[in-house]
Chains A and B, each alone.
Chain A
């Protein structure tokens, strides 16, 4: 199985995502330059974290018009899996692949810290390796992660089980103090209506080895592998 990791000018987690696939998952990965129009037959596309175009205007606002995004959107519309992490999530929202927007953290501070995430839906192609309501520990590192959407949109996401991860405390409770950025309903990650595009602010690719604090992110990659390879 081949993962294509898109590199935008200002991406800084593309190498982590690439190594995650090759070293931790043992699968094939390629870099895709944002100016290319070729996904190199990748089965899964990763839009990685970083600060594409320096976050100018709004995070993701300019990257969504990068040439490669035409093919990424086509891949998504065909049902191809897309993992949009951190800045990738912001880009996916700007591109209309996912609803809502990521705004400046309510604290106005950049937060770099491990957080607890609760698996809200273990029946997606990205979370099948986890148990429903399992709590995992994965780092976040962002200044613009406050998920925002209309109440109607939030109800739609909630009703369809499209909220995949929420920020919780160590006991798995949804609390304000466990919400690192002020996201609506403690939302940390969502999927599109078809379930093949995941957007999340936390970094599973940075939680793949106990040496780095946690290997809880591995389940995401294993879930995709078991679903796509099946």
Chain B
């Protein structure tokens, strides 16, 4: 059993109005970053989790996302990485 640092990105689902992303997009445009086409603001969660290997650590975090960390109605999640903490 080792401790794994698992990183997960949670983002608003495509097609659902993301006013926070729009506000940031507008601010970037007003700063002169005219190449910006779209912005979405989500959450980045880092979890240190005990597991036998990286895959087990990831699958535990997947269950956490489904149960609590992401809202299945409005958000998507993607587990980014698992490294020894």
Contact = CB atoms under 8 A, between A and B. Distances in A.
A148 B74 contact: yes
A15 interface: no
Contacts of A93: 73
A94 B71 contact: yes
A156 interface: no
B73 A106 contact: no
B17 interface: yes
A107 B68 contact: no
B69 interface: yes
A148 B20 contact: no
A104 B69 CA distance: 17
A105 B19 CA distance: 8
Contact of A182 (B19, B20, B73): B19
A100 B68 CA distance: 15
Interface of chain A, main secondary structure: loop
Interface residues of B, number: 10
B16 interface: yes
B52 interface: no
B17 A182 contact: yes
B60 interface: no
For B16, B69, B73, the residue with the greatest tally of chain A CB atoms inside 10 Å of its CB is B73
A96 to B, nearest CB: 10
A194 to B, nearest CB: 20
B71 A106 contact: no
A58 interface: yes
Given A57-B69, A101-B74, A104-B20, 4 more contacts: A57-B68, A99-B73, A101-B73, A105-B19
Interface of B: 16-17, 19-20, 23, 68-69, 71, 73-74
